């Protein structure tokens, strides 16, 4: 080894020791990070772009409301559903949305457990993304049941009909999994926000704002006794949310795997669904983070390190689902079962075979570019790849659900599927709903946890000897 190329260490955004990108730009103080985040919310001047974006998203929500109203008037027949394909867009979208939500929980929970401090600046909006995605997801089964006003029948309660739900059905497991997920996500998000609400209350100039944030802060005053309990609660919630994420998408995979349809009944579904969910979720975090950090000038707080790490996570989870696809194909042969074999053949070369190749291209082929550091640290390229992955993951669910249903065991029950305009309007509408909710969040709540940013600063650590600080207050 004659020469070893050494990395340039002059860049202030690089750690001088490890040569990695920093989690937070140097030179910040407790006050400056607080101000950087809270100014976005506390400013009296709402940017024009915000109004424009919110109006656009709002009009898409109106389209969603139209589609749903028409659905309630006419019934699910307006969608492309038929026998044998009784699960169409609604279930695809449900699985897609809930998968997107999972990255949020994972960033806030899993990375907290493993002390990955780079998560601190992105966890709040990732968690918000989770909640909005769960809202969009939960909408679909609800409107899909046909008579949504009877939705409470899903809950086990002593009714006069003496009828109880069937606890052996994965569809009922879904009810508990998704509701638990929604509730715990909201609790985790809110508990995580309480100290920041205190900061907002103290920094807010308007009376209305003081009341609003004051109520939400439940009187937080930063006592260290409270902080210790608070940290315990956050760690516990993180410890609970991590297995919860695994279980929620596993339960969703059971919706398919517990049935005996070829293409659905396979043991690898739970981990491979979970990996797929995290994959698309991280893609969505990037889709949101790249424009936000640009528009709100948050390059100091959401650094290239975050993008790089998220790119790596996407690469890893993408490879896990590649393993899942490979096992699907391999086991179709190894099982020596003609039904399994036909299932894969039909998936690749059947009437809707093109969808399979779209998903392979989007999920497996193109994301291999993430092996290159250049692609992981370039916001624009990463943003484009994230869009590709989100598309690919939607197609994955399409292939699993629709393609398998169109070709059952018996050729006499084969069919086809064609989505209608109402299907597309509902899918597009939830995108609008998600965006609109996100606009509200960005405007009214601090999107980066200030109390956790302070911990990232070097002056937050207790030093043994009283040395003078390098970065002055």
Partner 1 sequence: MAHGPYSNSLPDLKTPAFVNDWRRGALITAAIFAVASAVLAYLAASLQHDGFQHLLRSYLMGFVLCWSFALGGQALLMLQYLTGGKWGLVVRRPLEAMARTLPLVALLFLPIGFCMKRLYLWARISDPAAAFKAHLITHDEAHAIAWKRPMLGIGSVWIQTIICFAIWFTFLYFMDRWSVQRDADPEPHVHFWQTRFENISGFGLVIYSITMTVVAIDWVMSLDVTWYSSMYGFLFLVGQGYAAFALVIYTTLKLSKAEPLKTVLRVTEQHDLGKLAFAFVMLNIYIAYSQFLIIWSGNLPDEIPWYLDRIRGGWGVIATLDFVFHWLVPFTLLLSRDIKRNKRRLMLVCGIMIFARCWDTFWLIAPNFPDAARNLHLSFGLFEYVTVPITVGAIWMWYYFTQLQKRPIVQTNDPHFDEIMEAQHAHA
Partner 2 sequence: MPVQEGIYGLLAEFNTPEELVVAAKAAHDSGWRRLDCYTPYCLEEAAEAIGFHRNFVPLVCLVGGLMGLTAMFLMETWVAVFAYPLNVAGRPLFSWPAFVVPAYEWTILWAGLSAGFGMLALCGLPSLYHPLFNAPNFRDGATTDKFFLCLEASDPKFSILESRAFLENFQPTSVVEVEY
Out of 191, 326, 365, 471, the residue judged to bind partner 2 by CB under 8 A: 191
Q: Do residues 456 and 23 make contact, with C-beta atoms less than 8 angstroms apart?
A: yes
Q: Which is nearer to partner 2, 66 or 210 (CB)?
A: 210
- Closest by alpha carbon to 392, among 262, 252, 283, 289? 283
3-class DSSP state for residue 457? coil
Stretch that binds partner 2, among 94-102, 170-178, 298-306, 421-429 (CB under 8 A): 170-178
d(CA 280, CA 292): 18
Tell me which of partner 1, partner 2, none is bound by residue 163, counting a contact when its beta carbon lies within the kind-specific cut-off of 5 to 8 angstroms.
partner 2
d(CA 364, CA 155): 39
- Count other C-beta atoms under 10 Å from residue 311's C-beta: 26
Rg from Cα positions in the chain: 24
d(CA 378, CA 401): 35
Shortest distance (Å) from residue 130 CB to partner 2 = 14
Shortest distance (Å) from residue 254 CB to partner 2 = 7
d(CA 123, CA 376): 19
Binding to partner 2 (CB under 8 A) within 71-130 occurs at none
246 binds partner 1 (CB under 8 A): yes
Out of 202, 295, 329, 428, the residue judged to bind partner 2 by CB under 8 A: 202
Out of 89, 220, 325, 394, the residue judged to bind partner 2 by CB under 8 A: 220
DSSP structural state of residue 448: S
Binding to partner 2 (CB under 8 A) within 1-30 occurs at 29-30
Query: What binding mask, one character per residue, do residues 342-381 give for partner 2 by CB under 8 A, x or -?
Result: ----------------------------------------
- Closest by alpha carbon to 141, among 177, 110, 112? 177
138 binds partner 1 (CB under 8 A): no
d(CA 96, CA 269): 15
21 binds partner 1 (CB under 8 A): no
Query: b vs e for 394-414, b when ≥16 Cβ sit within 10 Å of the residue's Cβ?
Result: bbbbbbbbbbbbbbbeeeeee
Out of 164, 211, 334, 409, the residue judged to bind partner 1 by CB under 8 A: 334
146 binds partner 2 (CB under 8 A): no
- Closest by alpha carbon to 269, among 414, 385, 370, 170? 170
What are the residue ranges of helices labelled H in 30-108? 30-42, 48-74, 89-105
Stretch that binds partner 2, among 64-72, 111-119, 220-228, 323-331 (CB under 8 A): 220-228
**Residue 417 structure tokens:** 């599927």
266 binds partner 1 (CB under 8 A): yes
Q: Do residues 302 and 121 make contact, with C-beta atoms less than 8 angstroms apart?
A: yes
Binding to partner 1 (CB under 8 A) within 170-209 occurs at none
469 binds partner 2 (CB under 8 A): yes
Out of 69, 206, 232, 337, the residue judged to bind partner 2 by CB under 8 A: 232
**Residue 205 structure tokens:** 């100039």
268 binds partner 1 (CB under 8 A): yes
Residue with tokens 């598309």: 391
Shortest distance (Å) from residue 220 CB to partner 2 = 7
Tell me which of partner 2, partner 1, none is bound by residue 451, counting a contact when its beta carbon lies within the kind-specific cut-off of 5 to 8 angstroms.
partner 2
Tell me which of partner 2, partner 1, none is bound by residue 336, counting a contact when its beta carbon lies within the kind-specific cut-off of 5 to 8 angstroms.
partner 1
Out of 243, 291, 351, 415, the residue judged to bind partner 1 by CB under 8 A: 243
Binding to partner 1 (CB under 8 A) within 435-464 occurs at 464
Binding to partner 1 (CB under 8 A) within 367-386 occurs at 371
Non-local (6+) Cβ contacts of 434 within 8 A are 97, 132, 133, 136
User: Widest CA span of the chain, in angstroms?
Assistant: 84
Tell me which of partner 1, partner 2, none is bound by residue 12, counting a contact when its beta carbon lies within the kind-specific cut-off of 5 to 8 angstroms.
none
205 binds partner 2 (CB under 8 A): no
Residue with tokens 């994301």: 367
3-class DSSP state for residue 14? strand
Asked whether the CA dihedral 222, 226, 227, 231 is positive or negative, the reply is negative
Residue with tokens 């867009």: 89
Q: Which is nearer to partner 2, 215 or 326 (CB)?
A: 215
Shortest distance (Å) from residue 174 CB to partner 1 = 14
Stretch that binds partner 2, among 51-59, 130-138, 294-302, 451-459 (CB under 8 A): 451-459
d(CA 94, CA 171): 13
Residues interacting with partner 1, by CB under 8 A?
Answer: 1, 4-7, 16-19, 113-115, 168, 243, 246, 250, 254, 257-260, 265-271, 315, 319, 323, 326-328, 330-331, 334-337, 371, 464, 470
For partner 2, the binding residues (CB under 8 A) are 29-31, 34, 156, 162-170, 172-173, 176-177, 179-180, 183-184, 187-188, 190-191, 195, 198-199, 201-203, 214-215, 218-233, 236-237, 240-241, 243-244, 247, 251, 254, 451-452, 454-455, 459-460, 462-463, 466, 469, 473
């Amino acid at each position: 080894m004659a020469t070893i190329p050494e990395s340039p260490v002059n860049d202030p955004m690089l750690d001088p020791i490890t040569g990695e990108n920093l989690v937070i730009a140097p030179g910040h103080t407790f006050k400056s990070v607080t101000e950087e985040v809270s100014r976005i919310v506390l400013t009296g001047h709402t940017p024009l772009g915000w109004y424009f974006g919110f109006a656009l998203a709002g009009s898409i929500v109106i389209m969603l409301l139209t589609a749903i109203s028409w659905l309630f008037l006419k019934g699910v027949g307006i969608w492309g559903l038929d026998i044998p394909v009784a699960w169409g867009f609604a279930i695809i979208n449900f699985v897609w949305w809930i998968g997107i939500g999972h990255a949020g929980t994972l960033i806030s929970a899993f990375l907290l457990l493993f002390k990955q401090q780079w998560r601190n600046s992105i966890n709040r909006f990732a968690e918000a993304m989770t909640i909005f995605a769960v809202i969009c997801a939960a909408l679909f089964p609800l409107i899909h049941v046909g008579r949504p006003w009877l939705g409470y029948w899903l809950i086990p309660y002593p009714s006069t009909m003496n009828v109880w739900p069937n606890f052996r059905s994965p569809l009922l497991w879904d009810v508990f999994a998704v509701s638990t997920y929604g509730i715990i996500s909201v609790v985790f998000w809110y508990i995580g926000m309480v100290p920041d609400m205190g900061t907002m209350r103290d920094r807010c100039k308007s009376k209305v704002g003081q009341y609003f944030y004051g109520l939400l802060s439940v009187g937080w005053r930063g006592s260290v006794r409270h902080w210790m309990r608070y940290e315990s609660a956050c760690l516990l919630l993180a410890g609970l949310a991590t297995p919860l994420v695994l279980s929620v998408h596993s339960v969703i995979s059971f919706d398919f795997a517990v049935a005996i349809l070829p293409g659905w009944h396979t043991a690898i579904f739970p981990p491979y669904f979970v990996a797929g969910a995290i994959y698309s979720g991280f893609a969505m975090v990037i889709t949101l983070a790249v424009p936000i950090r640009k528009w709100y000038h948050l390059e100091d707080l959401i650094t290239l390190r975050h993008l790089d790490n998220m790119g790596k996570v996407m690469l890893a989870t993408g490879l896990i689902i590649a393993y899942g696809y490979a096992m699907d194909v391999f086991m179709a042969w190894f099982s020596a079962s003609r039904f399994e074999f036909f299932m894969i053949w039909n998936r690749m070369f059947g009437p809707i075979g093109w969808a399979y190749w779209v998903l392979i291209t989007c999920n497996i082929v193109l994301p291999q570019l993430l092996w290159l550091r250049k692609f992981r640290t370039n916001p624009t390229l990463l943003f484009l790849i994230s869009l590709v992955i989100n598309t690919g993951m939607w197609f994955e669910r399409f292939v699993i659900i629709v393609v398998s249903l169109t070709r059952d065991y018996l050729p006499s029950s084969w069919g086809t599927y064609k989505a209608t305009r109402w299907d597309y309007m509902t899918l597009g509408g939830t995108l609008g709903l998600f965006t609109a909710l996100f606009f509200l969040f960005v405007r009214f709540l601090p999107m980066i946890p200030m109390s956790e940013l302070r911990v990232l600063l070097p002056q937050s650590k207790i030093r043994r000897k009283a040395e003078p600080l390098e970065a002055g207050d």
